[in-house]
């Protein structure tokens, strides 16, 4: 038996259409499944948590965005239940890091249902699991503003939030402790990568791997607003890491003290201080 968790509203309705495709696949191949799709994330989490506790499942299929996948991690990882993430959100950065196509879910499901899942590294920040990026700084401030906006909907909300926040943004003071040393610096953005990208294909930690037991840490030290606007587009190719104000580190553990908010997989973690660890072989999934 497989659990299929669906967020029908994710990706402007992509969750519903991809959910139908996944269900049709399982029905066509005569694979037993149970659908979970609550009217809220909390309801879905409660129902799925109760079911996973009471019954044995081969795996959980997350059909939605990175937010739903993040929720599924919290339930699957402690139980060592395999999970798969369908690209049915607006960002799909966990799927990108795992290497799967954002369109061809048939091949993805063929692999999931015919082979054993393999272990991958996951991040753990203050007892919460994450797969892709933990971040703090300008992007988290933008997230805070975007979440408070009632208009516009979708990705444009973040563009509006950037336009509102950038003119008044000032670099923040951080105390950062890595495996080998500590850093005190002002920074515009800090990204801690178990995966490579966030924000729908922004390769903020382009060399991160999910099987090396280490985070890639990207620190953007202060630059002018004009320089920031020049550097920012380079994150889509990962070429920003050659900029002199970008510092890259690798570490298994990291702690951050600052007057700042942190997000992981696009979900709000809360205010610093935060401590995170890259845990080898923490999760079971299918990667290319």
Please count the structural domains in the chain: 2
Distance separating alpha carbons of residues 69 and 235, to the nearest angstrom: 23
Which residues contact residue 129 at a Cβ distance below 8 angstroms, ignoring those fewer than 6 apart? 70, 73, 74, 77, 122, 123, 282, 283
User: Which CATH number does the domain housing residue 184 bear?
Assistant: 2.60.200.40
Distance separating alpha carbons of residues 65 and 69, to the nearest angstrom: 6
Share above pLDDT 90 across residues of the chain, in percent, rounded to a whole number: 83
Residue (of 288, 201, 213, 211) closest to 250 by Cα position: 213
What pLDDT sits at residue 154? 64
Q: Are residues 195 and 275 in the same domain?
A: yes
Domain boundary among 116, 151, 183: 116
Query: Which residues of the chain have a pLDDT value below 50?
Result: none
Q: Are residues 137 and 274 in the same domain?
A: yes
Q: Are residues 148 and 111 in the same domain?
A: no
What pLDDT sits at residue 77? 98
Residue (of 21, 106, 14, 25) closest to 68 by Cα position: 14
What pLDDT sits at residue 206? 96
What is the overall mean pLDDT for the chain?
94
Domain span at residue 95?
2-116
Question: What's the pLDDT tens digit per position in 35-49?
Answer: 999 778 889 999 999
Q: Are residues 145 and 32 in the same domain?
A: no
Residue 183 lies in a domain: yes
Give me the DSSP letters along 237-267.
Answer: TTGGGGSTTEEEEEESEEEEESS-EEEETTE
Q: Are residues 177 and 235 in the same domain?
A: yes
Question: What's the pLDDT tens digit per position in 239-265?
Answer: 999 999 999 999 999 999 999 999 999
Distance separating alpha carbons of residues 169 and 26, to the nearest angstrom: 49
Q: Which sign does the torsion angle of CA 140, 144, 145, 151 carry?
A: positive
Domain boundary among 93, 116, 139: 116
Give me the DSSP letters along 120-185.
Answer: EEEEEETTEEESSEEEEEHHHHHHHHHHH--SS-TTHHHHHHHHHHGGG--PEEEEEE-SS-EEEE
Specify the DSSP class assigned to residue 273: P
What pLDDT sits at residue 90? 85
Which helix (H) or strand (E) segment holds residue 279: the answer is strand 274-285
What pLDDT sits at residue 38? 76
Question: What's the pLDDT tens digit per position in 148-176?
Answer: 888 887 667 777 888 899 999 999 999 99
Distance separating alpha carbons of residues 39 and 108, to the nearest angstrom: 27
Which residues contact residue 153 at a Cβ distance below 8 angstroms, ignoring those fewer than 6 apart? none
For residue 55, with 0-12 CB atoms within 10 Å meaning exposed, 13-18 middle and 19 or more buried, which class applies? Answer: exposed
What pLDDT sits at residue 238? 97
What pLDDT sits at residue 91? 87
């Amino acid at each position: 038996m497989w659990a299929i968790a669906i967020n029908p509203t994710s990706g402007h309705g992509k969750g519903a259409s991809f959910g139908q495709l996944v269900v049709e696949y399982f029905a066509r191949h005569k694979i037993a499944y149970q659908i979970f799709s609550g009217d809220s994330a909390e309801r879905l989490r409660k129902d799925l948590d109760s079911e996973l506790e009471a019954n044995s499942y081969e795996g959980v299929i997350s059909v939605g965005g990175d937010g739903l996948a993040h929720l599924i991690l919290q339930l699957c990882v402690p139980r060592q239940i395999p999970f798969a993430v369908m690209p049915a959100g607006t960002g799909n950065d966990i799927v990108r890091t795992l290497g799967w196509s954002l369109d061809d879910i048939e091949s993805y499901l063929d692999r999931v249902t015919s082979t054993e899942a393999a272990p991958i590294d996951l991040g753990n920040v203050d007892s919460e699991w994450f797969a892709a990026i933990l971040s703090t700084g300008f992007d988290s401030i933008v997230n805070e503003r975007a979440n408070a906006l009632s208009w516009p909907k979708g990705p444009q909300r973040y563009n509006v939030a950037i336009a509102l926040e950038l003119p008044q943004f000032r670099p923040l003071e951080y105390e950062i402790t890595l495996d080998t040393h500590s850093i005190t610096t002002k920074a515009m953005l800090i990204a801690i990568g178990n995966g490579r990208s966030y924000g729908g294909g922004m390769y903020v930690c382009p060399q991160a791997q999910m099987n090396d037991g280490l985070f890639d840490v990207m620190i953007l030290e202060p630059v002018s607003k004009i320089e920031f606007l020049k550097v920012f587009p380079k994150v889509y190719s990962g070429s920003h890491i050659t900029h002199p104000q970008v510092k890259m580190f690798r570490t298994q553990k990291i702690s951050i003290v600052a007057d700042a908010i942190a997000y992981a997989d696009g979900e709000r973690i809360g205010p610093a201080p935060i401590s995170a660890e890259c845990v080898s072989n923490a999760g079971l999934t299918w990667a290319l």
